[in-house]
């Protein structure tokens, strides 16, 4: 487990970018945290780290957004609005989870029952006592826990 504290959006984006540079094919990253905590900011950095230059936003109406531009395919899920895991089956999620690219899933706790056991898990939390823009980011994923943002 690795804990990183950030004090503005750019630091969170930077941490995402460092993970995106390092991430290996077939990794499944789960991203948890309340609305507005910075999941999409982190994801934007992550995509940059993969070499994606096109803008990344939350794929609100599509569950998954596919980016082919980086050093491997990137499958960005936001399952916030999902009603049932059957919707994941309808979109053929297994092709993404067990393909050659990397998955990153915002609100992954909503689809816990179909997640594999080996995950790179990121949780972002606020702590208002430490300021409005403070975020505590917890990373679980042994291969990546030596990442720092200096």
Using CA atoms, how far apart are residues 148 and 135, in angstroms rounded to an integer?
15
Please give the helix or strand (H or E) that residue 134 lies within, else none: none
Q: Would you count residue 125 as binding ligand ADP (CB under 6 A)?
A: no
Q: Would you count residue 59 as binding ligand ADP (CB under 6 A)?
A: no
Q: In 30-139, which residue ranges form alpha helices assigned H by DSSP?
A: 39-49, 86-90, 93-97
Q: Which residue among 20, 38, 49, 141 contacts ligand ADP (CB under 6 A)? A: 38
Using CA atoms, how far apart are residues 114 and 97, in angstroms rounded to an integer?
10
Q: Contacts with Mg ion: how many residues (CB under 5 A)? A: 3
Q: Which residue among 13, 14, 17, 39 contacts Mg ion (CB under 5 A)? A: 39
Q: Would you count residue 123 as binding ligand ADP (CB under 6 A)?
A: no
The nearest distance, CB 40 to Mg ion, in angstroms, is: 3
The nearest distance, CB 59 to Mg ion, in angstroms, is: 9
Using CA atoms, how far apart are residues 68 and 88, in angstroms rounded to an integer?
20
């Amino acid at each position: 487990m690795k804990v990183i504290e950030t004090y503005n959006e750019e630091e969170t984006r930077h941490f995402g970018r460092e993970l995106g540079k390092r991430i290996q094919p077939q990794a499944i990253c789960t991203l948890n945290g309340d609305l507005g905590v910075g999941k999409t900011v982190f994801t934007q950095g992550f995509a940059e780290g993969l070499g994606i230059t096109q803008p990344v936003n939350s794929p609100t109406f599509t569950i998954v957004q596919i980016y082919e531009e980086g050093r491997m395919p990137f499958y960005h899920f936001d399952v916030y609005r999902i009603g049932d895991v059957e919707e994941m089956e309808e979109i053929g999620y297994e092709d993404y989870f067990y393909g050659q690219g990397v998955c990153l899933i915002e609100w992954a706790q909503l689809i816990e029952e179909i997640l594999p056991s080996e995950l790179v898990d990121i949780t972002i939390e606020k702590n208002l006592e430490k300021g409005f823009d403070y975020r505590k980011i917890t990373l679980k994923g042994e291969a990546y826990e030596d990442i720092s943002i200096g």
